């Protein structure tokens, strides 16, 4: 496990060509980093990884309801995030080889910036046990615990985005008729 911080972390919109590399990143991250969550239970792990195919990843990237980002170091995917236009982070993973190098922090900052730019006032995430402390350090608060669709415990967390903190942010018109 490396702990040096990498300065050259690029963040960009995910594209269909990223699907294979991102799918591999997702599967590795879940299998290698989320053992506290899946407890090496083959049934939980199989259920969690079951929809992580290059075809599904490409479809998630193409979905207009999602905003999908890839963090890169030396042109290789180091992290991925997908959040909905309704403010739910539905996928957030960092490559096991890139943990503790600032990739997750930089990627989450960009998710929050883009969310505010489209007018969102808050973000929600069903966090793993593994990632809970990361989100807490980033200002997310626990709302409740639940069980994920694949049988692992999940922690529902949220964060209010500070108004005016992101240049170009549009006010939310969610309640406007």
Residue 75 pLDDT exceeds 70: yes
Give the tens place of pLDDT for each residue, 40-57.
999 999 999 999 999 999
- Reported pTM: 0.87
For residues 142 and 157, give the distance between their C-alpha atoms in angstroms, rounded to a whole number. 4
For residues 38 and 30, give the distance between their C-alpha atoms in angstroms, rounded to a whole number. 8
Give the contacts of 141 (CB within 8 A, at least 6 positions apart).
157, 158, 159
Q: Quick one: average pLDDT of 8-16?
A: 95
For residues 121 and 55, give the distance between their C-alpha atoms in angstroms, rounded to a whole number. 32
Assigned fold of 10-120 = Aminopeptidase (3.40.630)
Consecutive H or E run containing 54: helix 54-62
Give the DSSP per-residue string, 105-170: HHHHHHHHHHHHHTT-SEEEEEE-TTTHHHHHHTT-EEEEEEE-TTSSEEEEEEEEPPTTSSTTPP
User: Sign of the C-alpha dihedral, residues 45, 48, 50, 52?
Assistant: negative
Give the contacts of 153 (CB within 8 A, at least 6 positions apart).
37, 129, 145, 146, 147
Give the tens place of pLDDT for each residue, 97-115.
999 889 999 999 999 999 9
CB 121, CB 88: distance < 8 Å: no
For the chain, give the mean pLDDT: 90
Among 166, 176, 66, 173, smallest CA distance to 116 is for 166
Q: Quick one: average pLDDT of 54-65?
A: 97
* Domain extents in the chain: 10-120
């Amino acid at each position: 496990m490396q702990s040096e911080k990498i300065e050259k972390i690029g963040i960009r919109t995910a594209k269909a060509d990223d699907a294979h590399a991102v799918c591999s990143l997702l599967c590795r991250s879940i299998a290698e980093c989320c053992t506290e969550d899946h407890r090496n239970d083959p049934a939980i792990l199989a259920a969690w990884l079951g929809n992580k195919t290059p075809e599904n990843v490409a479809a998630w990237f193409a979905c207009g309801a999602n905003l999908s980002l890839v963090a890169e170091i030396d042109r290789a995917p180091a992290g991925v995030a997908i959040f909905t236009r309704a403010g739910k982070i539905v996928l957030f993973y960092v490559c096991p080889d890139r943990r503790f190098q600032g990739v997750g922090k930089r990627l989450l900052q960009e998710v929050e910036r883009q969310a505010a730019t489209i007018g969102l006032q808050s973000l929600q995430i069903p966090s793993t046990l593994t990632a809970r402390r990361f989100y807490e350090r980033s200002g997310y608060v626990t709302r409740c615990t639940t069980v994920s669709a694949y049988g692992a415990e999940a922690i529902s967390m949220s964060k209010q985005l500070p108004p005016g903190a992101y240049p170009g942010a549009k006010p939310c018109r969610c309640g406007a008729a």
